[in-house]
Each structure stands twice: as structure tokens, then as C-alpha cells.
Amino acid sequence: MKTTYREAIRAAIRDALQRDDRVFLMGEDVGAYGGCFAVSLGLFEEFGPERIRDTPLSESGFVGAGIGAALGGMRPIVEIMTVNFSLLALDQIVNNAATLLHMSGGQFNVPLVIRMTTGAGRQLGAQHSHSLEGWYAHIPGLRILAAATLEDARGMLWTALQDPDPVLIFEHGTLYNMPGELDDDAGPVDITAAAIRRPGTDVSLITYGGTLPAVLDAAGQLSAEGVDAEVLDLRVLRPLDEAAVLATVARTHRAVVVDEGWRSGSLSAEISARITEASFYDLDAPVGRVCSAEIPLPYAKSQELAALPSVERIVRAAREAVGRSG
């Protein structure tokens, strides 16, 4: 069937609500308004205010309520409008949800799912264009997912709801309108492993989330130049599928990591370090990185696009890795 990334997520939420009476959605404007990005449009009318719950504009409050509901046996889906607003709930996410199992000696699980929009490219200014997935991937006790395809947008949620511990799902804002075909019987997917989106032999392009379309476009352009690029979609940012990363490097002997986060202290830095630690002798070239410029993201469209990873920059980095210029 034809659908979009947004509709696939909505179908996943509807499916979860139908499967399990303990599941409910809560967040700012998710109810009568239908969600800031129209993901929950129509669900309030279908399931009512008890299961599609509008919350006050207080991330610390409603994320904390979600943690309490999870401890009480419910299966809450908490929607934080954008990742920058999640900073208002860092104490709840990092100091409570992520640590309660450990600090209770294994007595209290927190089966909480938090969804949030991430990324730039929509002219929303510096304070609404963060890509902070790497921050959360730093925290033990959390599982961090980045859905980059329709299948993952549709399938990651139900699997995440089965996890006894907190799961954060990042949805890149530029993907919501992405159209495509999805099987009529599409359902839950694995949330433990990376996925090869394009096999190749000359260079590994390693990425996740909203940069996957640009990386696939770059791989197509490289193919026309005679460079066979393999594309690895990380999908799961914590725990990182290190085996998949090392396996692709072993096949191609070159790697470029594409990460919309800032270069300093980024997820790309972690991946580069792991490759260097474990696969140094497999490398025929230094690991390349394509990240966002080290600046607050500009509002002006031309400047914003110039600051973000682009097809041109990815192609250039891949050419450098294989020893080609141009």
C-alpha cells in the first residue's frame, strides 16, 4: 500500500492501542489537535481522551507522569514535540527512567517509550533544529532507536513497547512526508541490529535517521562514477550494533560516517573510535566523517542547508576515502 512515514507511525500507534489496553499516548497537542506534526490525527476521536491524553506544556511533568504510569503497570507512549524540548525533562529521562532498575537492585523496570522529533532542514531556527540522539546514546539504561524507513516507522513501536526498560525513538522531521510502499501486513521489526540498505565493495557509508536518504542518493551518484558504496543504517544507536559496523569495514576497507550531529563529541566520533580500536588493520584509508557545521543552525534556508550534511559533501568524503579527487 502507498503511505507516508507519518501515516506509518500513526498506524503503529493505532495497532498498539488496539493490541494492549495498557497502552496510551500522552503529550502536548496529541489529542484534539492531532499532534504538532499530525502524527496522532484522528486517534483522539477513535480512542477517546483516556488513551489519547493532552498534557500541560511541562515536559518534566508529563515525562515524570509517564515514568510513574510505567512503574504502575501501564505501557505509556510519551510524545515530546521536538528533541530540544526534551532538555526540559533530562532529569526525568537520565536520572530516573534510565537508572531506576539499577538503583532498585533490579526490582523496578520502567517500560516507557518516548517518541520525539529531531533534526534540522525545516527552517525552524537554532533552538528547534537539534540532533541530540548522540547525547542520549551516551546514557546506560536507555535504548535509542532512529527510524529511517517506512518499515521501521511502522514496526519499531510495538517491539519497543515489549521492552521492559525505557526506549527513546527519534523521528526526523524531514521524513514525515516521505512517501513509499509498505506491505499491507507490515508489523513489528527487530530493534537490536543495524541494516544494510545497499550492498557495496569499495567504501562503507555509515549513517542513521534523517540522513539516510542523502546517503543513498550519494551512493547512487558514486555508482555512476564507478565507486560501489555500501550503506549501513545503524537503526539502533544504543546499544550500538558494533558487529555490523566492523563487518562492513571488513568488506570495504574504507568508511565514512554521516551524522547530522555536531562533529565534536558526536556519535560519529564514537563510531570512528570503535572502528579504529577494533578494525585498524582492515582500513585502507582514515575514517571520514560528514557532520553538521559547528554552529547554531541558521534560519535562512540557504545557510541551513550549507551547514548540514549534503549529498555533495558525502560524495566528496567517499571519493577521498577511495583515493579519487574531483
Q: What is the CATH number of the domain that holds 205?
A: 3.40.50.920
| Within a domain: 158 | yes
Q: What are the residue numbers of the active site?
A: 59, 128
Domains of the chain: total: 2
| Within a domain: 188 | no
Domain ranges, residue 88: 2-181
- Rounded CA separation 126/60 (Å): 22
- The pLDDT tens digits for 29-82 are 999 999 999 999 999 999 999 999 999 999 999 999 999 999 999 999 999 999
Asked if 266 and 131 sit in the same domain, the reply is no
| Within a domain: 190 | no
Alpha helices in 132-266 (DSSP H): 133-136, 150-161, 212-224, 242-252
Asked if 105 and 235 sit in the same domain, the reply is no
- The pLDDT tens digits for 119-176 are 999 999 999 999 999 999 999 999 999 999 999 999 999 999 999 999 999 999 999 9
Question: In 3-state terms, what secondary structure has residue 37?
Answer: coil
Strands 143-147 and 167-172: parallel
| Within a domain: 280 | yes
Asked if 90 and 43 sit in the same domain, the reply is yes
Using the 3D structure, point to which of 152, 181, 210 is the last residue of a domain.
Answer: 181
Contacts of 274 (CB under 8 A, 6+ apart): 240, 242, 245, 246
Global pTM reads 0.96
Asked if 84 and 168 sit in the same domain, the reply is yes
CATH number at residue 80: 3.40.50.970
